[in-house]
Amino acid sequence: MKIRRLLAVILPLAAVALVAVVVAACGGSSSGTAGGGSAYGTATLTPKTTTGTVSTRQTTLGRLLVDANGRTLYLFEKDKDATSSCTGACASIWPPLTAGTAKAGTGVTAAGLATTKRSDGKKEITYAGHPLYTYAGDQKPGDVTGQGLDQFGAEWYVLAPDGHKIDNG
């Protein structure tokens, strides 16, 4: 009787564990989303899709670069030679702005835009040689809560339209 009860519990759990392993294995080869990032507002749980358009927006830190959804874009001071050094947990907290091509929006110079290949093979948009990221801590367009944070080995800054970091601190 006990053994039957035990099997009744173990067999479904083994199936669940198998599904978990398969999900993890599949996710390891095809993880992430284009643009990644967090959605604004709480009306939906689904993050908005991100195109490769970079434009500018006026914020409390001045006019700075934002993505197609108005999310503030940041540079990572650890990045060298337009190559991203943000992977793993860093890429979850600071989702790279990934897209096939980069498009210049309002206030942005098209010549400053380019892409760099990430370690996972995706193309990340760069501006003035800086790979661009959003910040999961920003909740709505215009938020700049990632400004000046020292995370994952270096500091993060918003970018002015000329491609230089804005450092008011």
Residues that bind another protein (CB under 8 A): 2-3, 5-6, 8-10, 13-14, 16-17, 20-21, 23-24, 27-28, 31-33, 36-42, 45-47, 88-89, 91-93, 95, 120, 136-137, 139, 145, 149, 151-152
14/110 with CB nearer another protein: 14
23/110 with CB nearer another protein: 23
Structure tokens at 148: 């000046």
CA separation for the pair 127, 77 (Å, rounded): 14
16/110 with CB nearer another protein: 16
Q: How far is the CB of 64 from another protein (least distance, A)?
A: 20
Q: 25: exposed, middle or buried (C-beta count within 10 Å: 0-12, 13-18, 19+)?
A: exposed
Cross-strand partners of 64:
57
Structure tokens at 47: 């993050």
